[in-house]
Structure 1
């Protein structure tokens, strides 16, 4: 088996989206500046551009997209965060309508296999099948005596989804009324299960721990285990994928690639290698940003997609964050769990290698919380979850770009503490001990792959391994987290996590103001737009949240056939 490639030997990625920043390339004045080109920031920028505003997006990485970017190296291409998207099969889902709006309908989707997620819960295997009835039958096959619990569970998913629309719109409430509105929503619009822990809700439906483990088999999609996570995020994820998984045709980078022309059509730009060091505050108001080269760029609207922690702890002056009461508000909310990522290249097509368009979730058993606790206490114990994705198999255009090859990605949770000793070192120059640790972890994860797909042994040509320090280096999440703030019930009680901050002119966008996930961050981007636009945003809100489009032949062609 090839050794993980040392970062010091890596060639630059050949995928570049956006224009490289130079101060002399700025074409202001701008109506708004967006810090960070993750999907939440790009969504806000595109929506504001369509509303007639000139928007500048500043991205410190070499390519736009944040966790939706792709990279290509040594004849292979991988996504870094877009493993699958739900609800893209109909033109009338909220996520699909929003994607079509911000890309002018240019982004196409390919469905995964009808069995989109496969759970290995110890010796038990469950294949989730697309569709409400398919999902139900998948679970009944494994748990025939649990029909009532499964049916009750599906009912709860619908109730949470209905309540979520009102919870989302509540983010537009002014700060002075947000607490009162939150209490009103609880009393009138939100089901009792909405913000209890996932385990608490499910254990009220069944005492079958194996079924609870199966129902929570996608906990890695939010990075929080059932006894810690809000049922709201669990239900949204399960409902999101209920009708199967989809993948962007052309790869994850097509998201940013199809949004960029919309921003440029409004006179704006997305600039890369654009490192923002400070948000400028003048007379109590956000007035602009300072770049790492000392350049100051001003605009009446500053929108941060850098995450709540980075915004208040790194970009804002300490006294401004203090006036907002940030430390007090965030004191009990932790960053989400960090991860290890393997990016694997193989010679041969997915068909030749027998790679499915199905995600694998590998667990020691059904007891997710206990497995994580055991692993954090002893990192040499079994991984609490190993997620395996096959992007080259999911993308029908992959062979046109990289003929005769295939890719696999493996993601597993880890602890920041395991790598903390190297936090002050430079990417690519962390030393032999660090590389040895990466190799040991890589070998363990590869054995999990070979256990499920033994035909791949001896077929692997290339491996890269990323750690929480890689994530911190490239994405500026200091503890290597990928889901922002932990998705606990307490996090969703925070009325201050909304687009409009207490600093005039400063707005937040992306996953921290709503939920993680591509569509969650996008809706966060939409809500930020609506908060900025006020009554002028009502037609857009109606179009995305309430209008239905005709499911025409033209719409159907926008999704690639199976």
Structure 2
């Protein structure tokens, strides 16, 4: 109140009115951007564009592996520098290039694309990320394919997957009780009835659960409200509590999944069946709430899809567009720092370190980081400097604590095609343990490394199995007579923490023994379900959490930036994780601006560019889709 009185005293009533009107217009303007033509039409109708056939691997590598050199960056006046090259970074680059900006994307890895990349081991092609796509999106009228078709210029086609896409194997000590359950997608009714058919005595419970998932999912539209409101305003309305009463979001956000499922049923298998698929984004089920639990089935409910040609094709078309419009995407370019002016208020350059080229400072008036909040505000900019800015300070203050778990992944190469091996597109969750799923997992993560190594068989396993090669109709065209499987197990980060930031050749025998022991258990459990594949194994390779720390620059080996647990989805955290940073010329994009997954990361690119251009690109895309319910999404 005192600040308001001081403002009135200094500018008078008329000045205060003018001040309020001006800032109201500044706030409203982006939301009205879809009403006005723009000199640079960032979005355009891609429905009439024919998707392009998947390019050969050699063409993808030539495009996405352009080496950083001083010659390629010196002498060019860059408008935008983007740190990182995941889908949010590349989407930002494409949209800003269409707006007439000269864009430079810098990637520390040998290939651009982030988790869109594929990699090869002994002749086998594996996908890192982008495992599935759904028909939902950030708002009604804008779905995954609207975003991805815009970003790739309509170059992609997508293959519809088997409706029985989720399988959950619940294994008991008494093998006669072990059972494989299936979730079938296509519509709300299809999903609901598929569960009731397997648990007929729990029909009322299942209907309550599916209704809760729908209501929880619908309540998430408040997320975009708190991200688009000016930071000072959203802090005020959250403090007053007005906006909380307009939405039911916090009702579901505060509802722990375990507590809710326990209130519905005593059936242990049913509760595991309902909770398990949230593991796509939640590594800690005990920290899960109904916002998260409802997200995965609602994301897939209208069908499951996969990019034709694999996720690397998306990276290729994103990079190609930036290059075509005069920009560059360069790899092996390690951004060591984001540089601020002498007053520490404006970002003006990045410092790059290259093994072959040495050090170089590159200037641009706009810098976008997709490196994540900790990398950006603790490594690229010193924390003591970052904490001087209210938005960043709040983001670091409310950042959720890291869950104790991390992934260990087995990459398996198999001799034989999809048809010859009899493998399917479905994701298979393998759960082994008795009783309360949440408590079992917590107890497992409380074990020491020594305890785990001494046990011949641990009492609990939670594993995700995906035959990625089965999801592409042309995988065996590129890789004749071969198939691949990814097996992801959830383990404790502390078991591997001592080797953090070490190169593979520095980790030693102790590390290798731990990785091989835990990895062998993944393979053992996998073969319990797929014994016919034992003689078809041609390759096994394991990636530990520290591999992801080094490869993707993830804290504690996380595949995503923040853990997608309950504390991640409070309105306070969501409002602080936004494109603007408070530092002039510096913006954020990526999973932490929205949430995990390829669709949300792509949406983060739209939000970041909208912030830079003073436009609301999601509303512009919604307006473009108006009266086009049957638009072509290039689905095969």
Q: Residue 54 of structure 1: CA displacement?
A: 2.1
1:263 — aligned with what? Answer: 322
Query: Are residue 500 (structure 1) and residue 576 (structure 2) matched?
Result: no
1:199 maps to which of 258, 275, 294:
258
**SS of equivalent residue, structure 1 residue 42:** helix
Query: Are residue 223 (structure 1) and residue 282 (structure 2) matched?
Result: yes
Distance across 2 between alignment mates of 1:228 and 1:546: 39
Query: Are residue 189 (structure 1) and residue 238 (structure 2) matched?
Result: no
2:295 maps to which of 236, 244, 247:
236
How many aligned residue pairs are there?
544
Distance across 1 between alignment mates of 2:547 and 2:127: 15
Deviations 1:196-232 (A, max 9, x none): 2333444454454433321112121113434312422
Larger CA deviation: 23-32 vs 470-479: 23-32
Deviations 1:37-75 (A, max 9, x none): 111212222222222222211110111111221112322
Distance across 1 between alignment mates of 2:154 and 2:460: 40
Query: Are residue 295 (structure 1) and residue 360 (structure 2) matched?
Result: yes
Distance across 2 between alignment mates of 1:545 and 1:335: 39
Query: Are residue 319 (structure 1) and residue 384 (structure 2) matched?
Result: yes
Alpha-carbon distance change, 203 to 226 in structure 1, aligned in 2, over 3 angstroms? farther
2:487 — aligned with what? Answer: 410
1:101 — aligned with what? Answer: 150
2:41 — aligned with what? Answer: none
**SS of equivalent residue, structure 1 residue 504:** coil
Distance across 2 between alignment mates of 1:542 and 1:149: 40
CA contact (8 A) 1:383 1:413 kept: no
Distance across 1 between alignment mates of 2:538 and 2:237: 56
Q: Residue 462 of structure 1: CA displacement?
A: 0.8
2:370 — aligned with what? Answer: 305
1:155 — aligned with what? Answer: 211
Distance across 1 between alignment mates of 2:200 and 2:623: 37
CA contact (8 A) 1:36 1:59 kept: yes
**SS of equivalent residue, structure 1 residue 414:** strand
2:635 — aligned with what? Answer: 559
In the alignment, structure 1 segments of 5+ residues that lack a partner are 1-11
Distance across 1 between alignment mates of 2:366 and 2:211: 42
Alpha-carbon distance change, 320 to 215 in structure 1, aligned in 2, over 3 angstroms? same
Larger CA deviation: 543-552 vs 54-63: 543-552
Q: Residue 328 of structure 1: CA displacement?
A: 6.7
1:367 — aligned with what? Answer: 436
1:443 — aligned with what? Answer: 520
Larger CA deviation: 508-517 vs 167-176: 167-176
In the alignment, structure 2 segments of 5+ residues that lack a partner are 1-57, 172-177, 453-457
Q: Residue 28 of structure 1: CA displacement?
A: 2.7
Q: Residue 243 of structure 1: CA displacement?
A: 2.5
**SS of equivalent residue, structure 1 residue 410:** strand
**SS of equivalent residue, structure 1 residue 309:** helix
1:80 maps to which of 124, 128, 141:
128
Query: Are residue 281 (structure 1) and residue 340 (structure 2) matched?
Result: yes
**SS of equivalent residue, structure 2 residue 100:** coil
1:533 — aligned with what? Answer: 613
Deviations 1:6-35 (A, max 9, x none): xxxxxx9x9562421112101632221111
Distance across 1 between alignment mates of 2:627 and 2:551: 39
Deviations 1:328-348 (A, max 9, x none): 753562235421111111111
CA contact (8 A) 2:394 2:576 kept: no
Deviations 1:301-356 (A, max 9, x none): 11110011111111113332121365675356223542111111111111111111
Deviations 1:425-455 (A, max 9, x none): 3124422222222221221111111111111
Q: Residue 545 of structure 1: CA displacement?
A: 7.6
Distance across 2 between alignment mates of 1:429 and 1:264: 38
Alignment TM-score, normalising by the size of structure 1: 0.90
Q: Residue 236 of structure 1: CA displacement?
A: 1.9
**SS of equivalent residue, structure 2 residue 126:** strand
Alignment TM-score, normalising by the size of structure 2: 0.80
Deviations 1:168-192 (A, max 9, x none): 2431221111223444432113445
Query: Which of 1 and 2 has greater Rg?
Result: 2
RMSD in angstroms over aligned alpha carbons?
2.6
Q: How does 1:377-456 map to 2 (within 5 A)?
A: 377-378=446-447, 380=452, 381-456=458-533
Larger CA deviation: 222-231 vs 27-36: 222-231
Query: Are residue 177 (structure 1) and residue 233 (structure 2) matched?
Result: yes
Q: Residue 386 of structure 1: CA displacement?
A: 0.5
Q: Residue 374 of structure 1: CA displacement?
A: 2.1
CA contact (8 A) 2:594 2:600 kept: yes
Alpha-carbon distance change, 417 to 496 in structure 1, aligned in 2, over 3 angstroms? same
**SS of equivalent residue, structure 1 residue 193:** helix
Q: Residue 266 of structure 1: CA displacement?
A: 3.0
1:135 — aligned with what? Answer: 191
**SS of equivalent residue, structure 2 residue 359:** coil
Alpha-carbon distance change, 502 to 169 in structure 1, aligned in 2, over 3 angstroms? same
1:333 — aligned with what? Answer: 400
The structure where helix makes up a greater share of residues is 2
Distance across 2 between alignment mates of 1:45 and 1:371: 44
**SS of equivalent residue, structure 2 residue 554:** coil
Distance across 2 between alignment mates of 1:177 and 1:464: 50
Alpha-carbon distance change, 461 to 195 in structure 1, aligned in 2, over 3 angstroms? same
Distance across 1 between alignment mates of 2:622 and 2:481: 40
1:481 maps to which of 541, 550, 558:
558
Q: Residue 96 of structure 1: CA displacement?
A: 1.0
Distance across 2 between alignment mates of 1:514 and 1:181: 20
Distance across 2 between alignment mates of 1:69 and 1:53: 26
Q: Residue 274 of structure 1: CA displacement?
A: 1.1
Distance across 2 between alignment mates of 1:409 and 1:192: 36
CA contact (8 A) 1:193 1:231 kept: no
Larger CA deviation: 363-372 vs 333-342: 363-372
Distance across 2 between alignment mates of 1:208 and 1:359: 23
2:411 maps to which of 320, 332, 343:
343
**SS of equivalent residue, structure 1 residue 498:** coil
Alpha-carbon distance change, 509 to 85 in structure 1, aligned in 2, over 3 angstroms? same
Alpha-carbon distance change, 266 to 232 in structure 1, aligned in 2, over 3 angstroms? farther
1:212 — aligned with what? Answer: 271
CA contact (8 A) 2:133 2:144 kept: no
2:49 — aligned with what? Answer: none
1:5 — aligned with what? Answer: none
